[in-house]
Amino acid sequence: MSTSMKIGYYPGCSAKGSSLDYELSSSEVCRILGIVSSEIDEWNCCGSTPAHAVSTELSAALCTRNLVQATKQGADIVMTPCPSCLSNLRHARERMQNPEFKKRVDELLDEPAPEVLPEATSVMQMIGKLCSAEDIKSHVRQSLAGIRIAPYYGCLMSRPAELMNFGDPENPTLMEELLAACGADSVLDFPLKTECCGASAGIPHRPLTSVNSGRILDVAVKMEADCICVCCPLCQMNLDLRQKQAERQVNAKFGIPVLYYTQLMGLAFGCDPKTLGLNKLIVSADRIVDRIRALNTARKEAQGGNAA
Amino acid sequence: MRIGVFVCHCGSNIAGTVDCKAAAESALSLPDVVYATDLMYSCAEPGQAAIEKAIHDYALTGVVVASCSPRMHEPTFRRTVERAGLNRYMFEMANIREHVSWIGKDKVANTNKACELIAMAVAKLRNDRPLHSQSFDVTKKVLIIGGGIAGIQAALDCADGGIPVILVEREPTIGGKMAKLDKTFPTVDCSACILGPKMVDVAQHPNITLYACSEVEDITGYVGNFDVTIRKKTTYVDWDKCTGCGACTEKCPSKNVPDRFNENVGLTTAINIPFPQAIPKRASINPDYCRKLTTGKCGICAKICPTKAIDYERKDELINVKVGSVIAATGYDLMDWTVYEEYGGGRYPDVITSLQYERLLNASGPTGGHIKRPSDGKEPKRIVFIQCVGSRDKSIGRPLCSGFCCMYTAKQAVLTKDHIPDSQSYVFYMDIRAAGKLYDEFTRRAVEEYGTEYIRGRVSKIYPDGNGQLIVCGSDTLLGQRVEVPCDLVVLAVGINASKGASHLAEKLRISYDQYGFFLEGHPKLRPVETNTAGVFLAGVCQGTKDIPSSVAQGSAAAAKVLSLFARDKLENDPQIAHVNAARCVACGKCIRCCPFGAIREEEFRGQLKAKVIDTVCQGCGLCTATCPQGAIQLSHATDNEILAEVNQLCQF
């Protein structure tokens, strides 16, 4: 694993609030895998929806400041768990290459931005880049084998394709690869993995969010998934916190746990569920935890039996 | 030398932005120019007559016409000067239309440029020499590559015209894509019923030799004299003995073989005959699945065969033939639609191609003509057709329209209603392109009489809902709203590419092809059947998307071209070819290696090796002249001296 690269960590607002468990679990997984990063000093909002809906320049200025802060502390690359933050950081870096645009943004900043800004990547891509399947496998204590997982990326992680560089925009597979390295052998071919959860309509038009999230939950349940695996704080909130709303909207009962991929990886690495923030989930993931334990114990006994 | 210059108005095409009279007057000051005038339409009969008259009246020995592109009318004016007694190569053209009047509006600048182009043409003409063609014999036999409907039509027309035909087909049977279709639009007549008799005619025609399961390995030579090597791929069955009785196919124990003829929607046996009307109706073994060939244990077909035709040791054969002309009719293949991950990328069994659906509709198909969906064999009640999958989609680099999908989709919707009266079909479309005879009327029938619901918009997603249905999400751009259609089966109208391997064949034939593998015609409007290689003609979809009537028309057109070529006993070569100046040649061999036509060989000349151009093979491309380090090879009618005279004329200020 290469460690020459200095990584600046950009948590984004969710990580400190609604998706505290995402930050807990991803920092735990990174720690175990030996991925060292330092949080960007005095980072600010990424300029997501409220800002970029009003002004592209304002959004870019906010992002640029974060990237400049990272440069100041010597980061070669910026890493963030949140797809929405990632999208904005990448868009800003791309747009700042246009001199006319940069001029307008520089006016909003204390001092003009440097010509070259560091690249941004997701925690997931960073793990995929730095750790081989073998590396990950070497840390697995409790295999995820036997757990039926519906991988769900949300709409942002892979789009727009030419900017996000995340494999096929309609069928990304990195999450599946990481889960497979953790022993997961029942990851579903989830057809709605890149469909919109309705997050941006969450406040202006709540029923739409419930319809969109309801469809995703419905198909996952019909495919007999044990849990949904996500990588976006907003998706997680819509599928988990608002699961009851979705149930009322589509008139069904789901009760399906929605975990971050880092929480599932952490469970595979044998971490204490509490350090992974599993207690923060609305739909309890206890039965997933129990099932992983039970399946692993059963496998061990079977192996032991065979050996004897 | 006595040169006449004729400046054409081309109506207002040139005269609108070029002072033709002034250009003609300025030409009079050029050396050797004894006569110059402007003409309204120099290509029209009075224009040509005026040129001929001037040649006689002023005893001209060379002519310059300043008009359109030589691609347009050079042959016309060459004939004009020839009629007046000049050598046809004592003529030059200055292109003052495409290169001047059509691209600039400044009349003064345009006139100035026209004068310069005329001066260059005069300078070249002063260096031109009369050239003479040589004649050579023609082998009156034609090779037709591809036995689809276009190739079949071309073969029958040539054969009826008395020309021996070699028909080469890659698959074990002729018939091509048309043989797989159930019905044809807009008449909904049975495809096999109208194609079958033509296939039988091919088999029975005394002038046609059919090589199925064969491919063209190599082609050398030139118009009138091509040497062709055909690889007859082994079928492990002696087709001279095989009677097509089918006993072997009944007893073959390897029964889980993907059926290529049925577009892999059904299974067949390792030894099989593609379909009941196959021509030739002969069995062939798929070596990937044959137990005898893979494990060495079986041999049942050899035991059962009443004529002892099975031979597991049989090898490929190479056959050499000499022909005078070639028709390429290699057709098409579907593009790889699995790039559409939003449609499941090929992972959902009930999302199929329209060609697969044809096989489900067809009485000789894997379901006996009953529509059953692949996943569970259930009869679908709600069917969604999606058009333009891989057509008109820049996002995957395919801006082309595949041409016939609108029509066959309407046909399939009609047939679906006939097969399953209580079914409902939906068609997602971008535009309905139904420009042929009776075509629009047909698509209207699909809507009005058969109740097909047409939804104008693209599909963004197909997903299984977990209850055995597929949900098709899209937009209805006429209503401006999202639509979701639950259905049992999705049929994709998949865009087409040129047939697999078409580009390799093009290179063997030395013809051009585009990025989708379609062969390039000589001129998109005026030479749609010819290629830029003399003696090689095109028929059917290999040249570009077309439906059956157009393919048949082009097959007949290609045959007509062959028949007119073979109407002469001798052909004349183009004298604008390379010549070696033996005194300067150092026999380095660079020209031999760079010649794409194999037209140069080494020959002993007064005890020394020298390069020698074979007149009839050289196509006059000029690669060798640019490559020769000694300047020993010169291209007649484009010699260094002729080109430099033009450059000097332009750069004399």
How much of chain A exceeds pLDDT 90, in percent?
91
CA of A125, closest CA in chain B: separation in Å?
Answer: 21
Indicate the residue among B436, B461, B494 that finishes a domain.
B494
Nearest residue of chain B to residue A195 (CA atoms): B461
Same domain, B378 and B440: yes
Are B525 and B586 part of one and the same domain? Answer: no
Whether B543 maps to a domain, the answer reads yes
Nearest CA in chain A to B463: A191
Residue-level pLDDT at B458: 96
Residues B285-317: pLDDT tens digits?
A: 999 999 999 999 999 999 999 999 999 999 999
Chain B residues with CB under 8 Å of A221 CB are 466
Predicted pLDDT at B16: 96
Rounded mean pLDDT, B636-645: 95
Given the structure tokens 């044998």, which residue do they identify? A270
Residue A48: band (very low, low, confident or very high) from pLDDT cuts 50, 70, 90: confident
| Residue B137 belongs to a domain | no
- CB contact, 8 Å: B221 with chain A? no
Residues B100 and B83 in one domain: yes
In this structure, the answer to whether residues B444 and B586 fall within a common structural domain is: no
Mark whether B38 and B119 lie in a shared domain: yes
In Å, how far is A94's CA from the nearest CA of chain B? 20
The Cα–Cα gap between B362 and B552 comes to 22
Instruction: Judge whether residue B526 has pLDDT over 70.
Output: yes
A192: contact with B, CB 8 A cutoff: yes
Are A219 and B345 in contact (CB < 8 Å)? no
Say whether both B320 and B294 belong to one domain.
no
The pLDDT of residue A203 is 84
C-beta atoms of A191 and B345 within 8 A: no
Q: Which residue of B has its CA nearest to A171?
A: B341
pLDDT band at residue A204 using 50, 70 and 90 as cut-offs: confident
Q: What are phi and psi of B625, to 5 degrees?
A: -70, -35
Amino acid B597: pLDDT = 80
Q: How far apart are alpha carbons A73 and B636 in whole angstroms?
A: 72
CATH number at residue B386: 3.50.50.60
Residue B421 covered by a domain: yes
Q: Which of B 443-462 lie inside 8 A of A, CB atoms? A: 461-462
Q: Do A170 and B342 touch (CB under 8 A)?
A: yes
Q: What is the mean pLDDT of residues B376-394?
A: 97
Enumerate the residues of chain B whose CB falls inside 8 A of the CB of residue A214.
Answer: none
Q: What is the pLDDT confidence band of residue B579, given thresholds at 50, 70 and 90? A: very high
Residues B28, B29, B32, B34: is their CA dihedral positive or negative?
Answer: positive
Q: Which domain does B628 fall in, by range?
A: 578-636
- Would you place residue B641 in the very low, low, confident or very high pLDDT band (cuts 50, 70, 90)? very high
ipTM of predicted complex: 0.86
pLDDT at B338 over 70: yes
User: Has residue A305 got a pLDDT over 70?
Assistant: no
Q: Do B410 and B354 belong to one domain?
A: yes
B509 falls within a domain:
yes
CB B4 within 8 A of CB B30: no
Q: What is the pLDDT of residue A49?
A: 81
Residue A239 has pLDDT above 70, yes or no: yes
**Confidence class for position A306, pLDDT limits 50, 70, 90:** low
Angstrom CA distances, B267 to B255, B304, B356, B569, stand at 7, 22, 13, 52
Q: What is the pLDDT of residues A261-288, one digit of tens each?
A: 999 999 999 999 999 999 999 999 999 9
The stretch B375-400 carries a mean pLDDT of 96
Please name the member of B341, B464, B466 whose beta carbon is closest to the beta carbon of A170: B341
| Single residue among B459, B494, B529 that ends a domain in this structure | B494
pLDDT at A1 over 50: no
Backbone angles phi, psi at B156, to 5 degrees: -65, -40
**B158 shares its domain with B256:** no
Cβ–Cβ pairs < 8 A, chains A and B: 29
CA-nearest residue to B467 within chain A is A222
pLDDT of residue B221: 86
Q: Say whether B466 and A219 touch across the interface (CB within 8 A).
A: yes
Best mutation site among A170, A176, A188, A228 for testing chain B: the one with the most B CBs within 10 Å? A170
- pLDDT band at residue B616 using 50, 70 and 90 as cut-offs: confident
Asked if the domains A7-125 and A142-302 are classified in one and the same CATH topology, the answer is: no
Q: Does A76 touch chain B (CB under 8 A)?
A: no
pLDDT higher than 90, residue A50: no
C-alpha torsion B314→B315→B321→B327, nearest 10: 100
The vertex-B160 CA angle with B154 and B162, nearest 5°, equals 110
- Mean pLDDT on B522-541: 93
Identity of the amino acid at B552: V
Within this chain, do residues B349 and B430 fall inside the same structural domain, yes or no?
Answer: yes
pLDDT > 50? residue B503: yes
pLDDT band of residue A4 (cuts 50, 70, 90) is confident
Q: Which two tokens stand for residue B8?
A: 């054409």
Domain boundaries, chain A: 7-125, 142-302
Q: Which of B337, B342, B459, B460 to mutate to test the interface with A (most CBs of A within 10 A)?
A: B342
Examine the domain organization and report whether B192 and B326 are in the same domain: yes
* DSSP strand pairing (B317-323 vs B225-232): antiparallel
Topology given in CATH for the domain delimited by A142-302: Rossmann fold (3.40.50)
Tell me: do B213 and B146 sit in the same domain: yes
Enter the CATH code of domain A7-125.
Answer: 1.20.1050.140
Question: Is residue A160 reached through a cis peptide bond, with omega within 30 degrees of 0 on the bond before it?
Answer: yes
Chain B residues 308-367 with a CB less than 8 Å from chain A: 340-342, 344-345, 347
**Interface contact A216, partner B, CB < 8 A:** no
Question: Which one of A168, A169, A192 has the shortest CB-CB distance to B463?
Answer: A192
Across the interface, whether the CB atoms of B466 and A192 are under 8 A apart is answered: no
Q: What tens digit of pLDDT does each residue of A98-137 get? A: 999 999 999 999 999 999 999 999 999 999 999 999 999 9
Strands B382-389 and B489-494, how do they pair? parallel
Judged against a pLDDT cut of 60, whether residue B96 lies above it is answered with yes
**How far apart, in whole angstroms, are the C-alpha atoms of residue B431 and residue B387?**
9
Portion of chain B with pLDDT greater than 90, in percent: 94
Q: Are residues B358 and B324 in the same domain?
A: no
Give the domain CATH number at B598: 3.30.70.20
Nearest CA to CA, how far is A223 from chain B (Å)?
Answer: 6
B397 vs B335, B512, B516, CA distance in Å?
Answer: 12, 20, 10
Q: Does the CB of B467 have a partner CB in chain A at under 8 Å?
A: yes
Is residue B583 assigned to a domain? yes
CA pair distance B16, B102, nearest whole angstrom = 9
Q: Which of B523, B503, B514 is nearest to B398 (CA)?
A: B514
**A282–chain B Cβ distance below 8 A for any pair:** no
Phi, psi at B229, each rounded to 5°: -110, 125
- Is residue B593 scored above 60 in pLDDT? yes
Whole-number mean pLDDT of chain B?
95
pLDDT exceeds cutoff 90 at B466: no
Q: What are the tokens at B389? A: 């999958």
H-only helix segments in chain A: 12-15, 20-33, 49-52, 56-72, 83-95, 99-106, 123-130, 133-139, 161-164, 174-181, 206-222, 233-236, 243-250, 261-268, 286-307
B309 within a domain of the structure (yes/no): no
The residue among B202, B288, B272 whose CA lies nearest residue B237 is B272
> Are B344 and A218 a contacting pair at CB < 8 A?
no
User: Tokens 């000789």 appear where?
Assistant: B364
Residue range B627-634: mean pLDDT, rounded: 94
| Count of domains forming chain B | 5
Q: Do residue B344 and residue A191 have CB atoms under 8 angstroms apart?
A: yes
CB-based contact B429:B454 (threshold 8 Å): yes
Prediction pTM value: 0.86
Identify the CA nearest to B83 among candidates B53, B59, B42, B58: B53
pLDDT at residue B198 above 70?
A: yes
Q: Which of B103, B127, B151 is the C-terminal boundary of a domain?
A: B127
Query: Is residue A171 within 8 angstroms of chain B, CB to CB?
Result: yes
